[in-house]
Amino acid sequence: MAEESSSRWKSLGPLIMEIKFTFKRIRQSPLSIIGMSIIFFYAVIAILAPVLAPPQPGRDPYIMPCYGVSPMPSPPSEKAIWGTTEGQYDIYYGCIWGVRTAFRTGILTTIGTLIIGIIIGSIAGYYGGKIDEIIMRITDMFYAIPTIVLAMAIVVLLGVGLDNVIKAMIIVGWPTYARLMRAEVMRIKNEDYIEAARAIGCSNLRIIAKHVLPNAIYPVIIMASMNIGNVVLAASALSFLGLGSPAGYADWGAMISLSRNWILGLPGNPLAFWYTYTIPGLFIFTFVLGWNLLGDAFRDMLDPLVRRR
């Protein structure tokens, strides 16, 4: 029985096996179930955003509607159920559409860094020698500058804006994945089946694409997906500093930036504007927490000591 199931496992291929193992680990850990639920919850909000907070027709849905000209935030009312922030922007609307912004930022950045990291890492790992040496020295250079500082400098170069924040984070983020990919490729390229593929005359490109990548890519993808939370956190910090989304854009970091003048409230009522920073802050916190809780389970999976094998 055991033998039969193990041969069935093998026939499924390594990737499916890994995915099954992943879900098993997730099911085993209560914290990662909470993480999964949070992310699922946010995914539903992102999908339902047009229903939950209908945009005004003909307007960019990512621009928060504003209900007046007074700069002072106004408390929750029937029109704006969570109140308005500086410039009378609707907090509820901004938080709901901000979920889409967060997903978009996290996923675009991660895909960008992954593609660059995987390509460069597999070239370095597969070819080795001089190419590897040069690529690794370049990644070393990137490691020598604190990432947020470098990202800030690149945003200054590219110009302020959320898209440029994403580009900057891709430029500073790829070396991590390139290194991991390189290590995986180096481990795999000495396996017998690669030798066999080479012996029957496969081209280098074919070997990399068909035999090395599918076997090496998994840890890199896992690592990248557990990093989505950190990416969103970093992007919100840059938006808070005023380097990301412009004022009025549905972006949690930028929304908190709008509340900066109102932190101390009114004389005699220091918490008068608590909703301007607390609500978007809770959104960032729980979103990132969800990814980090899930990431914790993923980390265990990458740890060779806890892996089955």
Q: Residue numbers of the site for another protein (CB under 8 A)? A: 31, 137, 140-142, 144-150, 152-157, 159-160, 229, 233, 236-237, 240-243, 253, 256, 259-260, 263-265, 270-271, 274, 277-278, 281, 284-285, 288-289, 291-293, 296
CB 280 within 8 Å of CB 91: yes
Least separation in angstroms between residue 154's CB and another protein is 7
The smaller minimum CB distance to another protein, of residues 35 and 65, is found at 35
Minimum separation from the CB atom of position 193 to another protein (A): 34
Residue type, 256: I
Q: Which is nearer to another protein, 216 or 284 (CB)?
A: 284
Handedness of CA 112, 118, 124, 127 (dihedral sign): negative
Q: Where are the alpha helices (DSSP H) in 53-191?
A: 91-127, 129-143, 147-158, 162-188
Q: Which is nearer to another protein, 92 or 277 (CB)?
A: 277
* Identity of the residue, 215 or 257, whose beta carbon is nearer to another protein in the bound complex: 257
Report the nearest approach of another protein to the CB of residue 119 (Å): 20
What does each C-alpha distance from 172 to 41, 116, 145, 151, 167 come to in angstroms?
30, 11, 9, 6, 9
Residue 202 or 241: which CB sits closer to another protein?
241
CB nearer another protein, residue 54 or residue 270: 270
Q: Smallest distance, Å, CB 303 to another protein?
A: 11
Q: Distances in Å between the alpha carbon of 50 and those of 3, 36, 84, 148, 303?
A: 52, 23, 19, 33, 41
Going by C-alpha positions, the residue among 49, 109, 112, 138 that lies closest to residue 238 is 109
CA-to-CA distance for 89 and 110, rounded, in angstroms? Answer: 30
Nearest approach, Cβ of residue 18 and another protein (Å): 24
Least distance (Å) between residue 32 CB and another protein: 11
In sequence order, the 6+-apart residues with CB closer than 8 A to the CB of 248 are 63, 64, 66, 87, 89
